[in-house]
């Protein structure tokens, strides 16, 4: 079982503490480091965060939210093995050509360690601040994924759609990694609401499940399998990553995660207890051997 850590880019006081945490995580055997993303956190918002009971994010507007790609590029320069993932970036509200360039550049500079986790988005106020329509964000997301993979191909790009008009250019660098027979950064689709499972089945190399317990995950995996069946895809080709809070579940729960097809458990930094860099030693001693 792979074990990741999230988030490495929030509440950061400066470069060195973030890099110390990343180095320590790599040293003790953490497989991947992940980020959260919001460009802004409104002082007040009517939008409902779909994964908490009160509909609110667990951060204040004053919380340092280091840009995920900036944070992961810095971490890439200080590490050698640990994989780097966004969990997740909001694809529907950005320029996809810029994101394609940034993702491929990070993949090259990290020697093929980057995973682009993406979501549709839920915070209308953030879309408004960026000047991007909130409506049809799902359709925009789908189109952007297809278009970005064309940009990563290294071939002449031709893509005409409702949202994008790209013609007659190439974009380099291309990613180091190859997935499903194509040169591409792996795309990890996040979420469990709306058409999330349809998008995972159609477009995702992986699925980022917003769950914190195996009991929450089990019914969602059934929905994923159903969505894969509709498009004729083997669900085993979808790498499943999910949040995991060790203190909430016994080590025996890991066997159940494996049975459900989970490849990666991602531990929230705040769940480690104590200063993260120090707590990683304790976590490694108590848990990593059991998860191997």
The 10s digit of each residue's pLDDT in 212-237 is 899 999 999 999 999 999 999 999 99
pTM of the model: 0.97
The pLDDT score that the predictor gives to residue 180 is 77
CATH number of the domain at 212, please: 3.20.20.30
The pLDDT score that the predictor gives to residue 111 is 98
Cα–Cα dist 87/51, whole Å? 14
Domain that holds residue 53: 2-291
Cα–Cα dist 275/11, whole Å? 13
Parts of the chain with a pLDDT under 70: none
Tell me how many domains the chain contains: 1
At 247-286, the pLDDT tens digits run 888 778 999 999 999 999 999 999 998 888 789 999 999 8
CA dihedral 211→215→220→223, nearest 10 degrees, is 170
Cα–Cα dist 51/47, whole Å? 12
CA dihedral 159→161→164→167, nearest 10 degrees, is 30
- Mark out the alpha helices in the chain (DSSP H runs): 15-28, 68-78, 96-109, 124-130, 137-152, 196-203, 214-230, 253-259, 276-283, 289-291
């Amino acid at each position: 079982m792979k074990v990741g850590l999230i988030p490495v880019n929030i509440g950061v006081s400066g470069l060195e503490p973030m890099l110390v945490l990343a180095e320590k995580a790599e040293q003790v055997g953490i497989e991947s480091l992940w980020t959260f993303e919001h460009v802004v956190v409104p002082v007040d918002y009517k939008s409902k965060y779909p994964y908490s009971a009160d509909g609110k994010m667990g951060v204040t507007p004053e919380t340092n939210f280091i840009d995920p790609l900036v944070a992961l590029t810095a971490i890439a320069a200080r590490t050698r093995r640990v994989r780097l993932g966004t969990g997740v970036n909001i694809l529907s509200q950005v320029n996809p050509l810029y994101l394609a360039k940034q993702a491929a550049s990070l993949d090259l500079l990290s020697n093929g360690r980057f995973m682009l986790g993406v979501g549709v988005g839920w915070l209308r106020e953030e879309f408004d601040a960026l000047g991007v329509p909130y409506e049809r964000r799902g359709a925009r997301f789908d189109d952007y994924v297809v278009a970005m993979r064309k940009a990563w191909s290294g071939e002449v790009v031709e893509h005409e759609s409702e949202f994008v008009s790209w013609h007659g250019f190439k974009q380099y660098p291309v990613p180091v990694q190859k997935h499903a027979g194509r040169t591409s950064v792996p795309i990890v689709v996040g979420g469990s609401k709306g058409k999330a499972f349809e998008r995972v089945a159609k477009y995702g190399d992986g699925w980022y499940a917003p769950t914190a317990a195996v009991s929450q995950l089990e019914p969602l995996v059934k929905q994923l399998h159903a969505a894969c069946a509709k498009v004729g895809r083997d669900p085993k080709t979808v790498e499943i990553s999910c949040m995991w809070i060790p203190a909430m579940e016994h080590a025996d729960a890991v066997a159940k995660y494996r049975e459900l097809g989970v490849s990666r458990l991602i531990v929230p930094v705040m769940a480690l207890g104590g200063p993260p860099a120090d707590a990683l030693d304790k976590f490694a001693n108590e848990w990593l051997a059991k998860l191997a």
